[in-house]
Structure formats: structure tokens, C-alpha cells
């Protein structure tokens, strides 16, 4: 593996944005008709959690099929946009954590190397020596 390539720590972790809880929570903030249409079409409604067709939703909500279709399309687009933003946020967070981990590992390697080179007992002594030298401007 290329040492400079950033691979997220949790690259095989299932994204949280695929969960029904995430979708349900996002839909809560949508306009009421859009929210109702999505809940019914995705089977997120009570009590049976049955997925309904747009024709069935039209009858249940007493709205035209065109209105239902329009609200379904705008709701799904809104949900896709939110999911994309959340996915990007998670990927960025994972990449940041991976970079921090790589930097930590390189620092520990360097401190161990200096411990051997300076013939010290532990890394704490190396750190102390570096800090003292820093404040004396000897680095």
C-alpha cells in the first residue's frame, strides 16, 4: 500500500446514512405533504410499515397523482442531497482521523528511534529533552 495514500480507518464500516433511523429523522424536517408521501412510499409509516404505490398514496392522502408524484420527486431529491452531504462529511472525518493516526504512528516511531540513538531509558525522557531544547532554542 502507498504510504502517502489516505485510507479511512473505518473503510469497511457500513455508512450510517443507510439506516432507517437516519432517513426517518431527515424526513421529519420536510414539508408535511412531502414527508407523508415519502413515509408511505418507503414504508416508514405506522402502524404496518407497508410500502405504498403513488396511486395508493394519492387515495390515502386525497391528493392528485401528479401532486403525489411531484412531492415524491422533490422529497427524494432532498433526501439524496442530504445523504450525499452526510456521506461526504463521514468520509472527510474518516480521512482526517486516518491522517491523525498516521502522524501519531510516525511520531512514535521517531521518538523510539531517538530513544535508541540517545541511549535513553524511555520515550518520556526523549520528549523532555526535546522540550527543553526547544525552550533553549537548541533545535
- pLDDT tens, position by position, 56-98: 999 999 999 999 999 999 999 999 999 999 999 999 999 999 9
For residue 4, pLDDT over 50 is answered with no
Q: Which fold has domain 16-135?
A: Arc Repressor Mutant, subunit A (1.10.10)
Spatial neighbors of 82 by CB under 8 A, at least 6 apart, are 26
**Structural contact between residues 73 and 111, judged by C-beta atoms closer than 8 angstroms:** no
pLDDT of 31 reads 96
DSSP label at residue 18: G
pTM above 0.85, yes or no: no
List the one residue out of 85, 78, 81 whose CA is nearest residue 30. Answer: 78
Beta carbons within 10 angstroms of residue 92's beta carbon: 11
Spell out the domain ranges in the chain.
16-135
Angle at 103 between CA 100 and CA 105, to 5 degrees: 110
Amino acid at each position: 500500500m502507498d504510504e502517502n495514500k489516505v485510507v479511512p480507518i473505518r473503510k469497511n464500516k457500513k455508512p450510517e446514512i443507510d439506516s432507517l433511523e437516519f432517513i426517518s429523522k431527515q424526513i421529519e424536517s420536510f414539508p408535511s405533504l412531502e414527508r407523508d408521501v415519502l413515509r408511505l412510499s418507503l414504508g416508514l409509516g405506522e402502524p404496518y410499515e407497508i410500502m405504498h404505490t403513488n396511486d395508493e398514496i394519492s387515495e390515502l392522502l386525497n391528493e392528485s397523482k401528479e401532486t403525489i408524484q411531484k412531492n415524491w420527486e422533490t422529497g427524494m431529491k432532498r433526501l439524496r442531497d442530504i445523504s450525499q452531504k452526510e456521506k461526504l462529511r463521514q468520509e472527510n472525518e474518516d480521512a482526517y482521523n486516518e491522517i491523525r493516526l498516521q502522524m501519531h504512528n510516525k511520531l512514535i516511531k521517531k521518538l523510539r528511534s531517538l530513544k535508541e540513538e540517545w541511549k535513553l531509558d524511555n520515550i518520556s525522557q526523549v520528549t523532555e529533552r526535546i522540550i527543553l531544547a526547544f525552550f533553549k532554542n537548541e533545535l
